[in-house]
Amino acid sequence: GAVVSQHPSRVICKSGTSVKIECRSLDFQATTMFWYRQFPKQSLMLMATSNEGSKATYEQGVEKDKFLINHASLTLSTLTVTSAHPEDSSFYICSAVRGPVGLYEQFFGPGTRLTVL
Amino acid sequence: GESVGLHLPTLSVQEGDNSIINCAYSNSASDYFIWYKQESGKGPQFIIDIRSNMDKRQGQRVTVLLNKTVKHLSLQIAATQPGDSAVYFCAENSIDTPLVFGKGTRLSVIA
């Protein structure tokens, strides 16, 4: 199967600090990865599309300077929450698309719980 | 962004009964639909998918029905088990658009 991992699984940080979350495709190469945010009892909201070797595409309302995305290789994308504030506390989930076959086969990571104090 | 509520709709079923979870999708251009299961604190888990050229697809204990005329998707779970308790999301996309998730339904199985 296709496995996607995230690290860390949960993180607690102080307000004003930056937090980096890693998303890795373990057994396949992913030219495209997606980052989602999920607040309690709500659905997954797409934040940005991460393409290997190019700039990420952000959804409307998502601050690109606050949520820095780097897709440096075909198996790794990172999301850095800069100057985190309590309202950034959420469940962050990545997904990876396998192969150059379009956007159909998406595999999700287990998520990262961010708590900003 | 999409509108979301503070409380997920909940479906409660007796163990052993069949469950039907419904979803209305928004984009008539979507041609691929997926159902995901999400347990607390975990990422979405793929259950079953269907393409727009089909109206029914069956898996193990699960069936997805697609009605493109009214843009409606449903997930049927046969002989529901306690392990089926989770939040279920439908999602839609097309070849060049990311997945868009529905609001979700919480399935609660009563033993």
Give the model's pLDDT for residue A61: 94
> pLDDT digit string (tens) for A19-69?
999 999 999 988 889 999 999 989 999 999 998 888 999 999 999 999 999
CB contact at 8 A, B51 and B31: yes
Choosing among B32, B35, B42, which should be mutated to test the A contact, i.e. which has the most A CBs within 10 A? Answer: B42
Q: How confident is the model at residue A72 (pLDDT cuts 50, 70, 90)?
A: confident
Choosing among A24, A25, A38, A41, which should be mutated to test the B contact, i.e. which has the most B CBs within 10 A? Answer: A41
CB contact at 8 A, A44 and B89: yes
What is the least distance, in Å, from the CA of A112 to any CA of chain B? Answer: 9
Nearest CA in chain B to A48: B98
Tokens 């009605």 belong to which residue? B67
Give the model's pLDDT for residue B94: 80
Give the model's pLDDT for residue B12: 96
Q: How confident is the model at residue A102 (pLDDT cuts 50, 70, 90)?
A: low
In the structure encoding, which two tokens stand for residue B41, read together?
Answer: 């604190």
Choosing among B3, B27, B38, B53, which should be mutated to test the A contact, i.e. which has the most A CBs within 10 A? Answer: B38
- For chain B, the maximum distance between any two Cα atoms, rounded to a whole number of angstroms, is 43
Residues in chain A closer than 8 A to B5 (CB atoms): 42
Rounded to whole angstroms, the Cα distance separating A62 from A28 reads: 28
Q: Tally Cβ neighbours within 10 Å of residue A89.
A: 17
Give the model's pLDDT for residue B8: 80
Q: Check CB contact under 8 Å for A60 and B104.
A: no
- Mean pLDDT, chain A, integer: 92
| Predicted confidence pLDDT, tens digits, chain B (111 residues) | 233 344 689 999 999 999 999 999 988 889 999 999 999 999 999 999 999 999 999 999 999 999 999 999 999 999 999 999 999 999 998 877 788 999 999 999 998
Residues in chain A closer than 8 A to B42 (CB atoms): 110-111
- Residue B2, CA distances (Å) to A47, A80, A96, B100, B103 in order: 12, 24, 22, 9, 9
Q: Tally Cβ neighbours within 10 Å of residue B68.
A: 16
Nearest CA in chain B to A10: B41
* Of the partner residues B43, B93, B102, the one whose CB lies closest to the CB of residue A110: B43
Q: What percent of chain A has pLDDT over 70?
A: 95
